[in-house]
Structure 1
Amino acid sequence: MNTDGMVLIPGGTLQMGGDNEQADPNEYPKHPVRIDSFYMDAREVTNQEFKAFAEATGYLTVAERAIDWETLKSSVPPGTPRPPDSLLQPGALVFTATDGPVPLNNVGQWWQWTVGANWQHPEGPGSSIEGRMRHPVVQIAWEDAEAYAKWAGKRLPTEAEWEWAARGGKEGAIYPWGDEPVGEGPPKANYWQGFFPYENTEKDGFFLTAPVGAFPPNGYGLYDMAGNVWEWCSDWYDYDFYKKEAAKKPNPESRKAWNPMQPYQAEKVLRGGSFLCNDSYCSGYRNARRMSSSPDTGLNHTGFRCARSL
């Protein structure tokens, strides 16, 4: 089998779950998990790689397809009014910095539904991936990532595999590089420096995505396991999964979706943080940090990498 661009991740026992006081309740209880050896992409899938897939197959991403309101309304609270036709057009969510400080409990202040936004136009009409072919592809829904992985003869990693790989052999470490805070020492990842969501000092040199591999790899030779873009995993997101016996079995994978914060939609797991993460907001670059989104959602800070079983 072709494993070019992949790294062999040795099997072992992962102590899965939160490592410090920033951990959320869904990261507990910390528990041992046996992981079999597997291969993982050393880098996030790039625009160049996804373009080859789209051209070879004619694949249209979710963000490029017409929107069916009858399908969409099943994932929103009952009684939600039908949006105007002007918004029921192909598109995706795009980050827009606010003008100043805002409460951080309403993501709608910095995410805007943008008609015409997709992987080729990440920030909407007028934007382009020209000059960004080595950047991670974004505006990718889970089902887009799954389609690419199957075409490439690979698969998406499980949540447990992802965390094991991110730790890079450093048991109990908070971040892929160790325990040193992200803002101390040499540059470690592409993340939000300054005051989220209105002032990014771009100390790392990037406001949006960075080329894959722009920062040092972790102990397994994997790049950008922290920051740059959130990465899809195969699991359905179950807020309480770690409390269940299934989570302690070898190579676990959650097959039931439940998020008390989004009770009307089934969501898939996201890992690794993005260029928008900051300790004041999500600290998504922590190894144990869990996030989720509906499998048909595209955002301009969401991408993926693939895995392959031995």
Structure 2
Amino acid sequence: MPDSPYYDLNEIEPRVCQLAAEVLGLKLDEVLPESRLIEDLHVDSLCMVELFMTVEEEFDIEIPNKPTNPFAKSVFTRNPFRIRDLAEVVYLQQESCCPQRSGWRRQVVARSSGPELTFTQLSGRFQTSYPVPDPLLYERLEAETDVPLFRRFSDGMRCFQLPGGQVTLGSQAPIAQADEGPVHSVELDSFLIDAEPVSTTAHCRFLNSIHSFEKQWRDWFLLEETDDRIAQMQIELTGNLWRPLAGTEWMPMVLVSWWGANAYSLWTNRWDWHFYQSHAGFLPTEAQWEYAAQGAYQEVANDETEALSYVAAQHEPGTTYVADSMRMAPVHALLGVSKFGLHHMAGNVWQWCRDWYAEDFYQTPAAQDRNPVNTQPTGIRSERGGSWVGPTELCRPSYRRGREPWARGRCLGFRCVGQATNLP
């Protein structure tokens, strides 16, 4: 017999509803066992962390990042994921114990500020027509390293040209999840990648430079009036111009869907943004991301987490945020820096990738292709990097996960890539 109380599923379900209502600030009758966490309750990563931690403490269980229990794993991968599914996870995880997570269930220790470079991303409008045949997209900058540095005309973004060659992907570390293996080598061509995440300023420039309408905005970033994340919306429409709210101008653009990120990536590379729901686009592939992120993650002992050089574990349970108080670092802060010089390749915000996410992709022949990318639809798009909300271990470059392409989160942004052709 277990030492702690063993709960019947009929007892767990109403208590999970009650806890969800408390955490999400909803009335009890608005949270039902069949409520879908994302579609009905608008739960994003921050809310999910808060809810799961509360449930863990209430029932003295562990809800692992990726369950190894095959029964709990099958429940966790249900789509959509409902309150009753969370209650079933609690039921199946009984006899586990509430964990003390490194860099998560403790005083906020990771850095939210650091030395900054010049902010180069542009506001205003970019006047051009689409598509542009063989456009000159970049100007070359003097670089202090061996990695060539460019600046994109459309949005002012600094971009590094990473060398091509054989790249090792995946992890077999003890902390690695099943979807990170096996370790394998692939051939990547040279490519350009943004030095930092896209800011609210640059995103408003995109919106002000195109003839888009509310339908697209709702696909990309607009929230329903009933969505409480409106309090964290970073941009506003003033007259006929989109502007960042005061205090957010240098922050990563978050609460943006994969569709919105892909539309921006097409526009900034001077392709037709109207095809934002297609697989065409200029978001990094998982392989490009993992390669570009080398050297950004830093593992330190539990008692030395104040030495972290990236932004993670910033969320304090129960804290209410507005747009300019979310604990993100400015995009041009020198934190989470990879060996190539890119910032925020570990922590600060999760970033969308081009691939469809599949747990077994690294085990498939397609993962061995030159310039691999998963083009087989799964309903889930990949994201990488970790964020200011979650624990440090999610910031590892090989850590993989995904969300539906219409999903958006207060710790989810993006950066773009470009082709290393027709360069000055």
Residue of structure 1 in register with 2:363 after alignment: 243
Label 1:199 to 1:139 Cα distance change in 2 as closer, same or farther (>3 A). closer
Corresponding position: 1:165 with 2:292: yes
- 173, 178, 187: which one aligns with 1:25: 178
Unaligned ranges ≥5, structure 1: 68-89, 95-111, 122-127, 169-175, 201-205, 259-265
The letter for the 1-side match of 2:159 is: M
The letter for the 2-side match of 1:7 is: F
Deviation at 1:115, TM superposition (A): 5.8
Deviation at 1:113, TM superposition (A): 5.9
Identity, % of aligned positions: 30
Corresponding position: 1:271 with 2:381: no
The letter for the 1-side match of 2:309 is: K
Q: Distance in 2 between matches of 1:93 and 1:238?
A: 33
Residue of structure 2 in register with 1:224 after alignment: 344
Is the CA contact 2:219–2:257 (under 8 Å) kept in the aligned structure 1?
A: no
Label 1:9 to 1:61 Cα distance change in 2 as closer, same or farther (>3 A). farther
Corresponding position: 1:214 with 2:333: yes
Deviation at 1:215, TM superposition (A): 3.2
Residue of structure 2 in register with 1:153 after alignment: 269
Residue of structure 1 in register with 2:247 after alignment: 131
Residue of structure 2 in register with 1:120 after alignment: 235
What does the per-residue CA deviation read over 1:38-93, in whole Å, with 9 as the maximum and x for residues that have no partner?
Answer: 110001000110010011114458794289xxxxxxxxxxxxxxxxxxxxxx5279
The 5-angstrom pairing of residues 35-184 of structure 1 reads 35-59=188-212, 64-65=217-218, 91=223, 114=229, 118-120=233-235, 129-153=245-269, 155-168=282-295, 176-180=296-300, 184=305
Label 1:305 to 1:61 Cα distance change in 2 as closer, same or farther (>3 A). farther
Label 1:66 to 1:135 Cα distance change in 2 as closer, same or farther (>3 A). closer
SS in 1 for 2:395: coil
Label 1:114 to 1:242 Cα distance change in 2 as closer, same or farther (>3 A). same
The letter for the 2-side match of 1:234 is: R
Residue of structure 1 in register with 2:307 after alignment: 186
Q: Distance in 2 between matches of 1:120 and 1:214?
A: 21
Label 1:199 to 1:286 Cα distance change in 2 as closer, same or farther (>3 A). farther
Q: How many residue pairs were aligned?
A: 242
Label 1:35 to 1:185 Cα distance change in 2 as closer, same or farther (>3 A). farther
Residue of structure 1 in register with 2:405 after alignment: 295
SS in 2 for 1:235: strand
The range that moved more, 184-193 or 55-64, is 55-64
Q: Distance in 2 between matches of 1:308 and 1:37?
A: 10
Is the CA contact 2:297–2:396 (under 8 Å) kept in the aligned structure 1?
A: no
Is the CA contact 1:93–1:117 (under 8 Å) kept in the aligned structure 2?
A: no
The letter for the 2-side match of 1:246 is: A
Deviation at 1:245, TM superposition (A): 0.5
Label 1:198 to 1:34 Cα distance change in 2 as closer, same or farther (>3 A). farther
Q: TM-score, normalised by structure 2?
A: 0.52
Q: TM-score, normalised by structure 1?
A: 0.69
Query: Moved runs in structure 1, 4+ residues, more than 6 A?
Result: none
Label 1:113 to 1:222 Cα distance change in 2 as closer, same or farther (>3 A). same
Residue of structure 2 in register with 1:234 after alignment: 354
Deviation at 1:19, TM superposition (A): 4.5
Label 1:278 to 1:116 Cα distance change in 2 as closer, same or farther (>3 A). closer
Deviation at 1:139, TM superposition (A): 0.7
Label 1:227 to 1:62 Cα distance change in 2 as closer, same or farther (>3 A). farther
Corresponding position: 1:308 with 2:391: no
In terms of fraction of residues, the more helix-rich structure is 2
Residue of structure 1 in register with 2:395 after alignment: 285
Deviation at 1:213, TM superposition (A): 2.8
Deviation at 1:14, TM superposition (A): 1.8
Label 1:184 to 1:62 Cα distance change in 2 as closer, same or farther (>3 A). farther
Unaligned ranges ≥5, structure 2: 1-135, 139-149, 152-157, 237-243, 271-281
Deviation at 1:244, TM superposition (A): 0.5
The letter for the 2-side match of 1:190 is: V
